[in-house]
Amino acid sequence: MDITVLFKLSYGLYVVGAMDEARPVGCIINTCFQVTSQNPILAISLNKNNYTLSAIKKTKRFSLSIIAEDTDSSIIGRFGFCTSKDNDKYADFGYDVVEGAPIVKGHFAGRLILDAINFVDNETHEVVLARLVDTIADTGKSMTYDYYHRVIKGKAPKNAPTYVEEKVEETANVDVVKDKYRCVLCGHIVEHEGPLPEGYTCPLCGATDFIKEEVSTNKITRKNKVSIVIEK
């Protein structure tokens, strides 16, 4: 079966925020859709191992920030590639509490405040059905899965519902013009002539640790990135 056909489905990117008692938690998802038009109900998908899901189950109230193409990309890395259980994901950005739900500060395409009304088990994930409580308009253009993959060149951890294991292919006789460095946190690839500058930070997640990709004089092992979006 050709699983890559699923890549033709359209997705967005969203920051989910909830309160864990007095502490804000959150993550990034790519699965959200509107179920009803009147008294709107929406649905999102979260991995069962997701710490933010446990917070939503306790409080029911949560926020959804629609990521825009010009949203600070470090928000994606911070909220997508570490767990809220051990990290304050809002520390570098700040947040406001709206209708009892935290929303990370920044430029987005819009914000939603929702109340969970049902949780549907789906093996590795749960679909959360939620009623719309309030909205906050913003001016950004919604970022799509395709844009995130092509332009930002992001990748996903295994918790994401759209995750597919990367395939490794050998390509012969490729001239290596620049060195390639992989971010150890989010996997973003940086091309640079020679060593990275001291203190260089990943443009996607803000991390400073990189691993140089192994190359030979005329051959480089490349990975076809076929995964995306983020949920942690």
Tell me the per-residue pLDDT of 198-231, one tens digit each, with 9 for 90 and over: 888 887 777 788 888 875 444 444 444 333 344 4
| Residues 139, 193 within the same domain | no
The domain tally of the chain equals: 2
In a domain, 232, yes or no: no
Dihedral sign for Cα 199, 200, 201, 207, please: negative
Domain that holds residue 15: 3-147
| Residues 22, 115 within the same domain | yes
Q: Which of 117, 147, 177 is the last residue of a domain?
A: 147
SS3 78: helix
| Residues 21, 114 within the same domain | yes
| Residues 174, 142 within the same domain | no
Q: Is pLDDT larger for residue 171 or for residue 29?
A: 29
Return d(Cα 65, Cα 53) in angstroms, integer: 16
What CATH number is associated with residue 129?
2.30.110.10
Torsion of CA 203, 207, 208, 210, to 10 degrees: -90
| Residues 215, 107 within the same domain | no
* pLDDT tens by residue, 134-189: 999 999 999 997 788 778 765 554 545 544 555 544 444 445 467 888 887 777 78
**pTM, entire model:** 0.74
Token pair 């109340």 in the structure block, residue: 115
Structure token pair of residue 102: 């935290």
State the DSSP H helix or E strand holding residue 74, giving kind and residue range, or none if neither: helix 73-80
| Residues 176, 136 within the same domain | no
Q: Is pLDDT larger for residue 121 or for residue 194?
A: 121
Please choose, from the candidates 162, 147, 148, the residue with its C-alpha nearest in 3D space to the C-alpha of residue 47.
162
Q: Is pLDDT larger for residue 41 or for residue 166?
A: 41
Return d(Cα 184, Cα 132) in angstroms, integer: 37
Structure token pair of residue 172: 């012969």
Token pair 């002539």 in the structure block, residue: 193
Q: Which of 114, 147, 180 is the last residue of a domain?
A: 147
pLDDT bucket at 34, cuts 50 / 70 / 90: very high
* pLDDT tens by residue, 92-131: 999 999 999 999 999 999 999 999 999 999 999 999 999 9
